[in-house]
Amino acid sequence: MENISVEKFLQRHGVKPTPQRMVIAEYVMNTKRHPTADQIFQAVAEQLPVALSRATVYNTLNILVEAGALKEVYLESGPARYDAKVEDHHHFIDLKSGQVFDIEADKVKALAPDLGSGFKVHHYSVTFFGERS
């Protein structure tokens, strides 16, 4: 992610920069973990001088996704994860460590043209599962 202040990042996406939104956005922008909402809550709850509720985290994440500032991704069964890399890309999950790695979009052949005329693909995401050596 480019070097930009969190406040300017939120403003650029049309999101009012409250203290809670800034802390949540900064955490997701600076991690490569693709965290869940609960992981984000646990990581940032103590950084604010006022109590932070899970509802605030979920609401903030929804606002940021709707504004295009974050991407909500489903990499496996379970809760959504959040990613600050909103450009098209794919993921690799290391089954030993649980780590998630980004894979650039051009590394995966586009299958949309091979589906035939009955399909109109708007977006796709591929998740690879394996072990990183």
Asked if residues 129 and 99 have their Cβ atoms less than 8 Å apart, the reply is no
- Which helix (H) or strand (E) covers residue 21, if one does? helix 19-29
pLDDT tens, N- to C-terminus, the chain (133 residues): 444 699 999 999 999 999 999 999 999 999 988 999 999 999 998 888 778 899 999 999 999 999 999 999 988 878 999 999 999 899 999 999 888 999 998 888 877 778 878 888 777 788 999 998 8
